[in-house]
Amino acid sequence: MKRLLLISYPFPPNSSAGAVRSERFARYLSGLDWDVEVISIRPRKDLYADTRRLEILGQKVRIHMTRTIDPWLWLSDKNPGNRFLRAVRSALMEIFSFPDHMLLWVPFAVSKGLSIFKERGFDAIYTTSPPHSTHLAGLILSKLTGKTWVCDFRDPWTLNAYRDKGGWRRYGLIIERALEKQVIENAALVLSNTHANHKNLLKAFPKLDPEKVTYVPNGWEEFENTAAVLSPDHKLTIVHAGTFYPKFKPYALFYALCAWKEGNHHPDVSPLNSGDIRILLLGSRDEQTANTVKELNLSDIVEIKPWTALDEARGIMSGADILWTSLGTGQESATYVPSKIFEYIATGKPILGFFPEGEARRIIEETGAGKVFTSDAPEPIIAYLDRLIKLKKTGRIETIYRPDSDKIQSLKMSSILKQFSDQLLYAIRHR
C-alpha cells in the first residue's frame, strides 16, 4: 500500500466547494489502496461546520488540523474610527494578502508534514489550490523529503482572468509568476480541472512537458441520500446551490423575471404569475445578491436560505424542477467550470446555465444535462421559463431532461480518480 500526504487548506468540516474536491480525493484514493494523511487548517468557529463529511471518511483517512497566523483575517474584522487608521488597515491587508492571506499557514503545514514523514513516511505529496500558497508547502516538502509531488489547480493562479493587475500589484505579479514557475517545474504532475486551464498552462509555460499536465475534472458521485426535501406542488421550483460571484454579473435570470413581471415580453408569452414559480437560493450570503433581489422587486419569487449541510442541500436539489448555475455570459468566464455543475448532474435534474461559449457550456450540452444561455437578452429566457411553467402545470416537466448516459458516466468521480491513481503510481515508479 502506498502512502499519500494530502495538503488542502479547505477540508471538511469546511463546507466550501474546494473542500468537497479534497475530501473526495482523500476518500476515493483511500479506497484504492492508498493510505492517506491529510493536513488542513483548524476550522474557524464562526463558520458553518459540515461534520457529516468527516463521518463519511471514518477511520480510512488520518486528518491533522493545524493552527495558523492570519493577520489579514484579524484586520478584516476591524473597523477603525478615523480615515488614517482605515488607510493603515487597508495597506496592511494588501501586504498580508500576498500571494494570498493564507501564506503564513505554509510553515505550519510543512512542520506537520515533516513530522508525519519522520513518524510514518509517505510516497507522494498532493497539494491543491486556491489558496495558491499551499503549493509552496508542497514544493518545500518535496525538496526536503525527495518524494513525488502533485499540484492541483482548482482555479488558475497568475492566469486568473479576474485578478487585479494594476498599480503596484503588477510588481507582485512578477514575483507570483516566478513562484508559480517554480511550482510547475518541480511538480511531477500538474492537475487542472478544466480543458481550458490545461491549454492555458501549456501556452504560458511552453517548456512544460505536455505529459506532465493532466485534466482531472471535479466529477460527480451518487448521493447517499436523495430523498427530496421540498414538498411537491404546482410551482416551478428553481434552485441555486452555493455562492454567487457578482463580479461575473450572474443575474440574467433575475433581470429576465423582472422584465417579465413588468410586462416586457413577447405577446405569445403568458403574463407572469408569481404563484407559478419560485427560486430558492441555498447558501447565498453576499449582500449584492440580496440587494439585487430586493431592487428588482422579486422577493415574492426568490427565497434566500442560509447555508445548509451538503446532504440537506442535496435533498433540496433533488426535489427541485430546475437547477440554476451562472458565471455570467461574458467571455472572461469561459475557462471556469463551477463545481456545482457536477453536483447537479448527480441529482438527475435538468440544469439551467448562463455561460459564454466555453468549458461549462460544453459540459452541460455534451452530456445533455440541460439548457445554456450565452446571452443575457431577456426575451429568450422568458420564453423558456414560460415553457417550463406550462410543462410543470401539465405534469410533463421531466420531458426536458435528455442526458447522454455514456458521457455522464465518463464524468463519474470513481472512474476519474482511478485514472489519477494509476498516473500517480506511474509517476512514483519513474521519479
Do 127 and 152 form a contact (C-beta atoms < 8 A)? yes
Residue 320's pLDDT is 94
Residue 16's pLDDT is 77
Q: Which residues does the chain have with pLDDT short of 50? A: none
CA count, 13 A, side-chain hemisphere, 159: 20
Residue 28's pLDDT is 94
Residue 352's alpha-carbon distances to 90, 111, 208, 213, 239, in angstroms, are 39, 45, 37, 31, 10
Residue 228's pLDDT is 58
226: DSSP letter = -
How far apart, in whole angstroms, are the C-alpha atoms of residue 338 and residue 152?
A: 16
Instruction: With CA atoms as reference, report the closest residue to 8 among 73, 74, 65.
Output: 65
Residue 277's pLDDT is 96
Residue 390's pLDDT is 94
Residue 283's pLDDT is 84
How far apart, in whole angstroms, are the C-alpha atoms of residue 222 and residue 217?
A: 16
Parse the chain into domains and list their residue ranges: 2-219+413-429, 236-410
Residue 82's pLDDT is 83
How far apart, in whole angstroms, are the C-alpha atoms of residue 120 and residue 97?
A: 34
Same CATH fold assignment for domains 2-219+413-429 and 236-410: yes
Place of cell 492508498: 34
Residue 297's pLDDT is 95
Q: Percentage of residues in the chain with pLDDT exceeding 90?
A: 63
How far apart, in whole angstroms, are the C-alpha atoms of residue 344 and residue 401?
A: 12
CATH code reported for the domain at 236-410 = 3.40.50.2000
Do 308 and 49 form a contact (C-beta atoms < 8 A)? no
Residue 226's pLDDT is 55
The strand order across the sheet containing 189-192 reads: 61-66, 34-41, 2-7, 124-129, 148-153, 189-192, 213-215
CATH class of 2-219+413-429: alpha beta
Residue 164's pLDDT is 66
**In sequence order, what DSSP letters do the residues of 137-199 get, joined into one string?**
HHHHHHHHH--EEEEEESS-STT-TTS--STTHHHHHHHHHHHHHHHHHH-SEEEESSHHHHH
